[in-house]
Structure formats: C-alpha cells, structure tokens
Amino acid sequence: MAVPLVAYPPLPRHPTRLIRTVTMWKQTGIAGMLVLLLLNLSLAQSYNETEVKAAFLYHFVSYVEWPARAFDIPSAPFVIGVLGKSPVLEALREAVRGKSVQGRALVVRQVSVGQELRQCHLLFIPASEAKQLPRVLEVLGDAPVLLVGESEGFAQRGGIINFFLEQNKVRFEINPDAARRINLNLSSKLLRLARVVKSS
C-alpha cells in the first residue's frame, strides 16, 4: 500500500537525523503512519539502510504485546538485543536514548548466544549471524522474544519478522504462527503492512 509522502512532513535527507524525526513524529500524533512512511523510503534518495532498519525496530515495539511473564518486575526495562556485531547496534542506541515504551525504559545490548538471550524482548539477528538461528531458537525455547532478521528464509525457519529489499526499499515479512507459539500478540495494523509467510 503506497502513501504519498507529500501529504506528510518531509523526511530528512541526512540519514543521521532519521531516528530523531521518527521520534518527533511519535510525540506529535503521526505515530500511526510511521510504518507506512518508512516503507516508502527509497534507499537511493540518500536514506541509509541501517538507520531505516533501526527506525523500524524501534517502532515495531509499539505494535507488539508481550505477556506479563516477559517482565520480572513492573519497572523492568524493555531490552532490545543485537546479536554479534552490526551497524544497527549504534543506530538503535541513538534511537532509544532517553526514550520509553509502554511505560518502560528502553535498553539496547550487544549479546552473544547464551542464556542472556532470554533477557531480551526483541532480538535482532543480522545477516552475518543468521547461521546462529537454530542455536538461538534452542536457547530461547518458548521465551517470548521477538526475533527479527535480515536474511532470506529467516521467518520461515523460526524467526518472526524479516527485513528484505524490494525496489530499493526496506520491506518486511512476518510469520504470525511463530509469534503465536511464544504468546506474542502482533497488531493487525502491522500484519496488514507485511508480507505474511509460514514456517517451512
């Protein structure tokens, strides 16, 4: 579904300002249109793929409901993990600095495969770490962790959301069955904007 960008405040051409602009829009009532707007960003128009993906990750949190068991205490922070090394890590840290979601502070951590994965609520697995997915799934079990990747077949092999490029724009696909298996409730608004896939 295409939305004409001319009807909305202009996106910054300078990629380092993208996250700040997305945050500002969330605070001024345009949050409902942000995913649509991000889907219309052309990477050929000076937009940085890393920053766009970080903006998506930050915004996905608003469209997912986690079970109460995902948080040890009412004041527990919301933890976004990045597996291994990825430029998305710093972009995410920029995105969440001083921010909160659903009344919880946002924390971004670089993580490795181990029990610390179960402390995450959203885990981004970059393409360079895609081979770790089977081990990640083994460690997590039924832990309610939203797995997001950027490699072909990720969502069909146990991941939940996967980024891909189409016509030089960042798109995403979702495996709703994988989300339901671990009691994550995905907004119908998010599903309508995604390419829905099933486990292979």
Nearest to 189 by CA among 59, 24, 52: 59
What is the pLDDT at residue 37? Answer: 57
Q: What pLDDT does 169 receive?
A: 85
The two tokens of residue 62 are: 């608003």
Domain 5-195 has CATH 1.10.1060: no
Longest dimension (CA), the chain: 46
Give the pLDDT of residue 6.
29
Q: State pTM to two decimals.
A: 0.83
Contacts of 50 (CB under 8 A, 6+ apart): 87, 88, 91
What pLDDT, on a 0 to 100 scale, did the predictor assign at position 17?
A: 54
CA distances from residue 24 to 3, 41, 103, 170 in whole angstroms, order as listed: 19, 17, 17, 21
- Nearby residues of 98 by Cβ (< 8 Å), 6 or more positions away: none
Residue-level pLDDT, tens digit, the chain, 200 residues: 333 322 333 344 444 455 555 555 454 444 455 555 555 555 555 568 898 899 889 989 989 999 999 999 988 999 999 999 999 999 999 888 888 888 899 999 999 999 999 999 999 999 999 999 999 999 999 999 999 999 999 999 999 999 999 888 889 999 999 999 999 999 998 998 899 999 98
DSSP secondary structure, 62-116, as one string? GGEE--GGG-SSTTPPEEEEEES--THHHHHHHHHTT-EETTEEEEEEEE-SSGG
